[in-house]
Structure formats: C-alpha cells, structure tokens
C-alpha cells in the first residue's frame, strides 16, 4: 500500500481544487494520504505529490528533505514539475504501481566563518550565491585549500546539477546534467574577461572570501540568508541532504530543457535517430 | 628500485642534451632506465619521464597509454608538463622516493557508424570534435538515446576534464577540474544564441549525428581522423584507457591555470587565506 | 513609371512559377520589368525584386551592387527576405506607389598584402573572415595602425551591421542594428578567455596578420577567396559599395530577429507598450 | 596663454602633494591655474588636469561637464587617467603647447516616466543600468518604439563607448572603441540563453520597462538614482553633454586595454607590424 504525501500550493485555487479531486482518487485506490500537517509532524511517505510549480517543489524539498517528490504542474513553467496537470491520473497510477525511478541530486552545505567562528550554517538545493549590492565586490575562490583567483564583479555562484539551469546558466555557465559528480563555480559579471566557469568534483571544498568592504549578501536558493562582511569566509561543500525527484518513464530532462525554455533552435528540425527522443528505432 | 621510462622530444636539442644528463643521474641512484624502444617493445615502467612540452606528453600518452607520466617542460608553455626544467633533479628524486600521486583522468572512445556499420573506432585524451569545413553544418546531439537539440554551426566538442582547458574553453565552455565525473559537450559557434555547454555524467552515451551534406571532419586530440558523411553517427563514451599524470607535492592545477594562461586577473591581488595557495595558516 | 528588376532563384520551381505570376501583374500596373539578363547588361531599375531566400539576396547584392532589393521569401528562413510569399501583391503595390524606404548598410573592402604586394582585392556584404584549417592559428589585430592583440584560435571575423546576426553572433559577438556606424571584430574560439568583441568606427583601418604557418583561409560572405600564408596582411575597411534593402512600412528588424530566430524568450510575454511592436498607444 | 583647471582627489595625500608641485610649475610657464572653487564658480579653462584615478575623472566630468580632462594617475588603475604620475611634466608641457587632441564621447540622458509623468531626468557618462535587488526581474526593451524582447534576469545595461569596458564588458558585452556611433544594450545574467548584446545607433530611442513587482534600481555611472516601480518606463538617448578627454600623442586605448586590464594574451607575443604599437615601419 502506497503512502502518498499531498501538498498543494497555498492560496492557489486551482491547486486546492485539484487536491480535492486527488485525495479521494488516491484513497479509492487504497493509498494512505498524508497531508501537510502530518508530514510536518514527521510522517514519512513513499512520495510527496506537490500540486504547484517549481517554487512549491523547492519549498517542499527544503521543509521535508530527502523524500522523493513528484510535481504536478499547476503554474506557468514547470521544469521540475514535469507532469502536466491533465495527466495527473496516469502519473499517480504509475506512482501507485511503483513504476518510477528516484533521481537523486546533491545539496550544498554553506557555512560562514567570521573571525574564525562559524556564524551561519545552512543548505541549498540549487545554489549558494554571494551577490553584491550596488557596487562591485571582490571574491576570492579557493578549491581544496588552493587559491584559484580573485574575481572583481557582482559575485559568485556555486550550483548543483539541478540548480545549474537557473542562475548559473544565466551567468554564462554550463548546464550540468543529473548525475554529474560536480558543482559549477561561476563568476557573476566578472569585470575581467576571465570568467570561465570552473566545474569541481563533488568532493571539493569550495571557499569563497569576500575581499571588499562593500555590501554583499549570501543568498541560498534565491533567499537572502545573511549580509556578509569583509573577510567573511563562506565554505561550500556537498551537503548531507539529497534532493530526490520521482521520475516517471516518459519524463525527460532534455525534452523539458528544449520545450520549457523554448530551446528548440530550429522548430522544424526532425531528429534523425527517432521521432520522440525517447523511442529510437 | 624504480623503473623509469625516459622519452625526449624528437629533434629538440635541448631535450636531448637534458636526457644525456638525466640518464646517468638516474642510474647512479639505482634506477632502471627504459628508453623509448624498450617502452614501445612492451617494457612497463613505474613512471615515464617526458622531456618536452605538452605536445610530447600527449604523444606519449597515446602511444604508451595508462602509464603515469611526469613532464619536464622543455618548451614554451607547459601546462601538463608542470615541472620546470631547472627543477628536474628535485622532481626526479621525489619520483624515486615514491613521493608522488597519480592523477587519473578518463579518455574518450569514439566510434563512427555509417549505414549501421562501425567504420572507425579510436580514442582521445582531450577531446573528440566534429568540425565543419568552410560552411555551416548541423549536428544533432543525443544523450543516453534522448534527443537534445540540433546545432547549426561549426561543429561540436566533447571534452574530458584534462581536455577542457583546450578547445572546450576556447569555444566558451567551462573548465572541468580533475576528478569531475563528467564530459563537456560544447557547440562551436552555434548559429543560435543557444550554445550553453552541457556537462554529462561519465557514464553517458553521447551520440553526434552529422545532419548536413557539407564537409566536416572528425578530429581527435587535434588530429584529423576521418572526413564524415551526412548521416554518420559518432558515438562517444568513456574509454578503456586512463590518462595518468605523476603529480608531485608542489604541483597545482590552479596555480598553473593562473600563471601559464596569464589568468591572474589582478596581478597585485594577495590571497587572504595564505600566500602561496598550497600553504594555509 | 516604376522600373522593377525581377530575379528568381535558379532551379527553384516555386520561385519560377511565382515569377510567371508576378511579371504580368507588374506589367498590368504599368511597370517596366527588367529580367536578369537585362540587369546584368547594365539596365538600372529602381528596385530589384528577388524571389528566393537570403542566399539569393546576397547573390544579387554581390552581382548587381548598390541597387535596393526587396526579397520575397520563397525558402525556409527569410531574415533579409522579409516579405512572406503570400503577401507579394501588397508588397509590390507599395513598391509601385513608392511607399518604401531604402535601408543602407556598408560593405567591407578586403585587400591581401603578401610581401608588400596587394595580391587580392575583394569586397563583402556581411563579413570578412580569416579561418583556420584543422589547427589553431595566431591572428594579430591592428586598428588604425595600433596593435590590439594576438589571438590564438580559429580565426577572426570582421562583420558589418547586416552581417552581425550571422557568424559574428554565432562566435559570441553582438548584433549591430542597422545604422550603427561601426564594424564588429570578433575572435573565433580564441584559446584564451580574452575574446571580447571590439566594435570599431566605420572609418577604422582594420589589419589582420596571419602569424602562423598553419593552414588558414580568407572567406568573404561565406565563400572561400584565398588560402593565406604566414605573414599575409589582410586590410579591411569600409567599402565603396552600399548594401541597400527596400524596406516596407510593416517590416521590422526586431520582429524578424525575434520570430525568425525563435528569439522570443517568453512566448507568452505581452509587451506593455503596444501589442505589435510598431503600433504604440 | 593656457588656462588650466587643477583638481586633486580629495583627501589623497599623494594627489595633494603633487598638486603643490604642479601649480607653481604651471604658473612659471605662464599658465593661469584655476582651482576647484573657481571652476565650480563658472570659470572655464581649456583643460582640467585631474590628479587621481578614474573615479576622479568621472566625478569631474559630471560636475564640470564638456571640458576636456587630462588625468594624471595617482591611484591603482588608471584606464582613463592614462598619464602615469612620473610623466606629469612632459604631459603638461604638451598641454601648454597645444599638442593634444580632444577625444569626444557621447553621454546618455535617462528619463523615468511613472504613470505618464517624467519623475526623474538625469545623465550618465558610462552607463545607465536597471539592476534587480535580490530577485529576478523582467525588463522589456524597445528600440525606436519597436518591441525587441522581454528579458528575465538581473537587469539591463545601456553603455556608451567609454563605458563599454566597464559593466557592459563584465556582463559579456562588446567593447565599443571611441568614435563608434552607437550604444550597447546588454542584458545582465538573462535567465535565457538569448543574451546577445544589441548595439544601436546613437540616434536610437531606447526604452526599458520594468515589468516586475520586484525590487529594482536605476543606477547611473554606478550611483543609485532611484528605486523603480513596476511599469516605470526609462527612456535612454544621446545626451546633451559630451565627455571630453585631452589625449596626448603617445596615448593609446588599445595599449591601455592590453596592459591595464592584463589583456596581453601571450605575454611573449611580438607584433609583426611594429614594436610599440604606435610606431610602424
């Protein structure tokens, strides 16, 4: 018997009315359905079904870490929430039948040292960012206790594979596919042409030092965590938690990448090796 | 007793005269020294000492794969040949004493299928490249049998970590530090703004299809291998060989990256966390 | 009475059958229609109507320079040929009525000096390119007799505004809108992070020196012109000819840029300041 | 008789002690020397000599617009202040003798419209920037009343040629050499691969619309001017003022670009066409 957690985006009518359909549907099929309160109370389901967009998936993964999440997209763009609303019944049937894989991604643990004392310890699913206020800042980068460079600019991004399509790609960095054992370290608007992303192994100790007096913030997954001071050392490394997505058979990162981001360069191109990407002759 | 292979760059007087110094020096310290003929005959040393530049290291790694190489730089730029000429005695003493680590990188196996038949099978240390002649070509990319996109442009690069600082970085791609479990797939001058590098796991099956009638070549480690035809499928995957460098204590990829490539953005910047990068307070 | 030149893409049935419709239509409206032979014989029309794609427009502009061209798109992508096939009657009526503007762009004159002698003098509408064969080349760049840098890589592109959306943009360079008084000098895959495009004034003297023994070609508008030798100096400057497009009222570079290149980042975005770009409240 | 304005960086001992040397030196050579108070009172010199770094030049050009400035570098990096401290006597003698050119660059006038009312009107020498606070914003771009695109990201930069080496280049944009009749419009970390800079003619009307509720600021030459609100329209166009530098014979933008920014890709490269860049055989 499957134990399914169910969380709908707060205050989103469409998500809430979908929840009202989903709950009896699951119960009729013999599932135990856990609501948000029960989940927060410590109940552990096999999978959490999130009715909302990518923002909801991120919130759930933060609050209830390590549990596989299936996102049903009730929103504008669903890159992580890969199941479109109208296919919810098929998708949930696959979950009930156990026909899914768990795609696991790393998280990042960030610790801020000020005058030798750890003053903040937090973790992120997508990225750990040092970002300047209105003025240019210098950030020193060290990998495994070796000095890499001092980057003047708008700051620095450390991204996981699942976070690489967000700020990292926006800043000119690469996309790391799921399963790549590494993190991307990408300078933001470095006032230098030397702004190549460095991809480091998952085992790396990444240290970022704010080497300017100017305003700068530590931002985790888009949420400001702390205003930094000159000399603060932010260490970033592979975190204890794992980001887990329940992936159904038809789901495909590359399809999503192409269609959700409008990345189909030639809309009329027909792939030679198969028409739908996942079925090849 | 250490068995040391010794290969000097052909026709380079400076390398050959250094070899004449190195051989007796090693023998006086009880080493067995194997020359290029013996090595090609199948003799297996602990380490091959290459007297030359990065080109020589690449040649040796191709001809005598899997054996750790220490490069002593007798040339212009030594990025892989990290030991400068004047330090050869200290470096070789460390080799004799076993005070070195072996840094291991993957290789790439490339197979070309034409009309369903494998017509070429070859391998590369740095990169497998499809590159256009004078005119724009279309290259389709598939990862693990899933269609990614069709890229019109000058071609496509698949690079290993050790190859990422070469053509991959030149084409706008990231640098993958040693130890990253992945390969970088980077379009060359894609006639589209959609040219973000995709870093894929080491286990990935990468398929590149030439989807144009125009001239294009398969190039491995900078050496042309084959003129491709429309419809040719080039599969690229983790190769059987390993690229091994003997790394001494003081060697440092990030120092080399900064100094050899003139990547010191602010020549006057002093790293906060230690003066020499590898010694921290 | 309007004098209209008419040129259809050779061997393209669709273009030729459209020509058979267009000619009597124009003559019925009192136009003098000049065919390709008459045009090549020196007859000068007010406008040349080109039935084909962007390739045809480029060919016509080369062979019959300085005459305004209206392209009717009978092909896949018409970026210069901005009138779609089904709107040909409206478009030609506007030409007959004189309701069009002539958008004028510069051309590039390229001269190759070998051992102090000018050996080739040619001109281009889009771009003058030095491009490597299989191996990396060094290109020195000088602007107005001042040394800029030596770029190791795949070569160098000098582009006009109308050419900037082609190879220049593909190599990471900017798009220059029509009317910008300048040319873009963009390195191709420079093996250095220092690959920022330099936009120089239209009056600039650009000199490119091939500083390598390796194979390299001079390519004008995508057509190979000459195999270069080490030490060859290619001077590039504003050419004598002008590239002229007849632009109708509804035509819009930015619309074309967005739609033809699939550059609509957010397909659902609705511009605040007006729905169709050219009509504002 | 030359009228020379003299302004030293405030509170910078080195600049002030240099001023104490320069004033009698100029007076002995028959110059009228105007101090900062006199200049602010409306006195108009031929040239203002600024003793300080690039920051001082920017401040002087803002406060006393349109007057040619010669910067003597008393600071870390002098890109605009191209005369090094030790050469001050030679440089000032050239000014006295009239042996200089005035290099003139445009400025940008920015007006903010809120609910149809102009609420701010200001101008900039280098760049007009809309920059997000902690979260992604949408900026719509229009050129000459035509819609270009909606860019989600960190904002948008409009840069003059003299400003292009600053934030514009940092964001991946091109460098516009002095004399290019255009402005560079560069998205900052666009969350889309479509982030190509658009260079528009100097005559263009550039309109930027903040299409998000989130925090964003208008920043001119690095100085915050206004917190923007959703729907605010920022128009940017060629300003009334001119940025004027007094340029001596030996000064060279390309040399400065290469040396000040450490842009010498191959430190050992020797230009073929002349040894010092400005002297050719």
Q: Which string of DSSP letters, residue by residue, matches B49-61?
A: EEEE-HHHHHHHH
CB A70 within 8 A of CB A48: yes
More confident residue, C171 or D273: C171
For the record, the structure tokens of A164 come out as 């690489």
Which residue in B254, B263, B264 is closest to A143 by CB distance? Answer: B254
- Please count the residue pairs, one from chain B and one from chain D, whose beta carbons lie less than 8 angstroms apart: 19
The Cα–Cα gap between B120 and A186 comes to 37
Interface contact C191, partner B, CB < 8 A: yes
- Three-state DSSP at D93 gives helix
C135, closest residue in chain B (CA to CA)? B222
Question: C90 labelled as ligand-binding?
Answer: no
Instruction: Report pLDDT digits (tens) over B111-140.
Output: 999 999 999 999 999 999 999 998 999 999
Alpha-carbon distance A50 to A57, whole Å?
A: 6
Of A84, D38, A273, which Cα lies nearest the Cα of B141? A273
Distance from C-alpha of A28 to C-alpha of D198, rounded to nearest angstrom? 58
Whether A159 and chain B come into contact, CB under 8 Å, resolves to no
Q: What are the φ/ψ torsions at residue B31 (nearest 5 degrees)?
A: -85, 150
Q: In the predicted model, what is the mean pLDDT of residues B23-48?
A: 96
Beta pairing partners, C1: none
- Tell me the CA distances in angstroms from C280 to A267, C10, D117, D144, D145, one per residue in order: 30, 41, 17, 11, 7
Q: Which residues contact D114 (CB under 8 A, 6 or more apart)?
A: D229, D231, D232, D233
CA distance C95 to A239: 67
pLDDT grade for A263, boundaries at 50, 70 and 90: very low
Q: How far apart are CA A29 and CA C163, in angstroms?
A: 62
Of B188, B195, B224, the CB nearest to C134: B224
Whether pLDDT at B275 is above 70? no
Closest CA to B218 of B196, B235, B197: B235
Is C278 exposed, middle or buried (CB count within 10 Å of its CB: 0-12, 13-18, 19+)? middle
Q: Nearest CA to A243 among A218, A221, A225?
A: A221
The sign of the torsion formed by the CA atoms of D223, D227, D229, D235 equals negative
B262 is in an annotated binding site: no
Disruptive mutation site among D82, D114, D136, D148 for chain C (greatest number of C CBs within 10 Å): D148
Q: Is C242 exposed, middle or buried (0-12, 13-18, 19+ CB in 10 A)?
A: middle
The pLDDT value given to residue C186: 98
Average pLDDT over residues A108-127: 97
Rounded distance, CA B47 to CA B7, Å?
Answer: 11
Judged on CB neighbours under 10 Å (0-12, 13-18, 19+), C61 is: buried
Are C214 and C132 within 8 A, CB to CB? yes
Nearest-CA distance A145 → chain B (Å): 7
A235 contacts: CB under 8 Å, gap ≥ 6: A110, A111, A113, A205, A206, A207, A208
Q: What is the DSSP string of A129-183?
A: EEEESSS-EEEEEEETTEEEEEEEESEEEEE-TTTIIIIIHHTT-PEEPTT-BEE
Q: Which residues of D touch B193 (CB under 8 A)?
A: 193-196
For residue D118, the tally of other CB atoms under 10 A from its CB is: 11
Q: In degrees, to the nearest 5, what angle opens at C-alpha B188 toward C-alphas C190 and A279?
A: 160
Q: Any chain B CB within 8 A of the CB of D193?
A: yes
When computed from its CA atoms, the radius of gyration of chain A, rounded to whole angstroms, is 21
User: Three-state DSSP class for C255?
Assistant: helix
In this predicted model, which residue has the larger pLDDT, A41 or A281? A41
With tokens 């459209």, the residue in question is C18
Cβ–Cβ contact D163 with A under 8 A: no
Chain CA centroid to CA C202, Å:
16
Q: What are phi and psi of C60, to 5 degrees?
A: -60, -45
β-pair partners for B224 = B219
pLDDT digits (tens, 9 = 90+) for B57-73: 999 999 999 999 999 99
Q: Mean pLDDT over residues A98-108, rounded? A: 95
pLDDT digits (tens, 9 = 90+) for A169-212: 999 999 999 999 999 999 999 987 668 999 999 999 999 999 99
Q: How far apart are the C-alpha atoms of B130 and C189, rounded to whole Å?
A: 14
Chains touching chain C at 3 or more Cβ pairs under 8 angstroms? A, B, D
Q: Give me the residues of B, 24-43, that contact A with CB < 8 A.
A: none
Of C47, C31, C63, C96, whose CA–CA distance to C246 is shortest?
A: C47
What is d(CA B98, CA B77) in angstroms, rounded to the nearest whole number? 27
Instruction: Write down how long chain D is.
Output: 281
Neighbours of chain B (3+ CB pairs under 8 A): A, C, D
The token pair at B95 is 């080799």
Identify the residue with better confidence: D281 or A54.
Answer: A54
Distance between CA D97 and CA D225 in Å, rounded?
Answer: 40
Task: Supply B33's token pair.
Answer: 């020294």
The confidence score (pLDDT) of residue A81 equals: 83
List the single best residue of C82, C213, C253, C271 to mutate versus D (max D Cβ within 10 A): C271
Cα distances from A155 to residues A188, A194, B14, B204, D17, in angstroms, run 5, 14, 45, 32, 36
Q: Which residues partner with A149 through β-bridges? A: A141
Q: Does C173 touch chain D (CB under 8 A)?
A: yes
Residue B102 contacts residue B246 (beta carbons within 8 Å): yes
A71: helix, coil or strand?
A: strand
Non-local (6+) Cβ contacts of A31 within 8 A are A1, A2, A3, A4, A96
- SS3 (DSSP) at B62: helix
Query: Tokens 């320069």, residue?
Result: D22
Structure tokens at C93: 């009526």
pLDDT in tens, chain C (281 residues): 799 999 999 988 999 999 999 999 999 999 999 999 999 999 999 999 999 988 899 999 999 999 999 999 987 766 788 888 999 999 999 999 999 999 999 999 999 999 999 999 999 999 999 999 989 999 999 999 888 888 889 999 999 999 999 999 999 999 999 999 999 999 999 987 668 999 999 999 999 999 999 999 999 999 999 999 999 999 999 999 999 999 998 777 887 777 665 544 455 566 666 533 333 33
Neighbours of B245 (CB within 10 A): 24
Compute the average pLDDT of residues A20-33: 96
- Distance CA(B27)–CA(D161), nearest Å, equals 64
Q: Per the annotation, where are the binding residues of D for NAD(+)? A: 54-55, 59, 126-127, 154
* Structural domains of chain B, with CATH: 3-99 (3.40.50.10330), 107-240 (2.60.200.30)
Confidence at residue B281, expressed as pLDDT on a 0 to 100 scale: 31
pLDDT of residue A270: 67
Distance CA C43, CA B181 (A): 66
C266 DSSP β-pair partners: none
Give the annotated binding-site residues of A.
Answer: 54-55, 59, 126-127, 154
Burial class (CB within 10 angstroms; exposed 0-12, middle 13-18, buried 19+) of A1? exposed
Q: Does A196 touch chain C (CB under 8 A)?
A: yes
Closest residue in A to D169 (Cα) is A191
Nearest to C99 by CA among C276, C278, C247: C247
Known catalytic residue: B255?
no
Distance from C-alpha of B15 to C-alpha of B18, rounded to nearest angstrom: 5
Cβ of A139 under 8 Å from any chain D Cβ?
Answer: no
pLDDT at A272: 60
- How far apart CA A44 and CA C281 sit, in angstroms, is 56
Q: Is the pLDDT of residue D77 over 80?
A: no
Q: Give Rg (Cα) of chain C.
A: 21
Calculate ∠ Cα A238-A244-A247, nearest 5°: 140
- CB within 8 Å of D191: residues ≥ 6 apart: A166, A167, A169, A170, D136, D152, D153
Task: Provide DSSP, D140-151.
Answer: EEEETTEEEEEE
3-state SS, residue A256: helix
Tokens 């599932």 sit on residue:
A31
Q: Name the DSSP letter for residue D166.
A: I
**Mean per-residue pLDDT of chain B:** 89
Cβ D21 vs Cβ D38: under 8 Å:
no
Check whether D278 has a pLDDT greater than 90.
no
C138 assigned to a ligand binding site: no
Q: How confident is the model at residue D280 (pLDDT cuts 50, 70, 90)?
A: very low
Distance CA B113, CA B123 (A): 15
Using the Cβ of C193 and the Cβ atoms of chain A, whether some distance falls under 8 Å is answered with yes
């Amino acid at each position: 018997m499957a134990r399914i957690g169910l969380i709908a985006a707060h205050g989103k009518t469409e998500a809430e009315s979908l929840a009202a359909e989903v709950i009896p549907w699951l119960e009729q099929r013999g599932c135990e359905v856990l609501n948000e309160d029960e989940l927060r109370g410590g109940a552990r389901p096999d999978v959490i079904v999130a009715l909302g967009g990518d923002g909801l998936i991120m919130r759930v993964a933060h609050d209830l870490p390590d549990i596989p999440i299936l996102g049903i997209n009730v929103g504008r763009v669903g890159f992580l929430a890969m199941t479109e609303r109208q296919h919810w019944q098929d998708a949930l049937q696959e979950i009930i039948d156990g026909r899914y894989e768990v795609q696991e991604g790393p998280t990042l643990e960030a610790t801020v040292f000020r005058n030798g004392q750890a003053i903040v310890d937090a973790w992120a699913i997508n990225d750990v960012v040092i970002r300047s206020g209105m003025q240019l800042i210098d950030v020193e980068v060290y990998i495994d206790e070796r000095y890499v460079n001092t980057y003047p600019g708008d700051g620095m991004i450390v991204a996981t594979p699942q976070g690489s399509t967000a700020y990292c790609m926006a800043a000119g960095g690469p996309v790391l596919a799921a399963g790549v054992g590494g993190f991307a370290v990408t300078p933001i608007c470095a006032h230098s042409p030397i702004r190549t992303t460095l991809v480091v192994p998952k085992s790396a100790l990444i240290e970022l030092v704010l080497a300017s007096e100017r305003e700068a913030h530590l931002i985790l997954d888009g949420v400001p965590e702390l205003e930094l001071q000159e000399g603060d050392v932010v260490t970033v490394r592979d975190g204890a938690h794992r980001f887990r997505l329940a992936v159904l058979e038809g789901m495909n990162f590359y399809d999503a990448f192409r269609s959700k981001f409008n990345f189909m360069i030639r809309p009329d191109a027909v792939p030679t090796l198969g028409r739908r990407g996942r079925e090849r002759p």
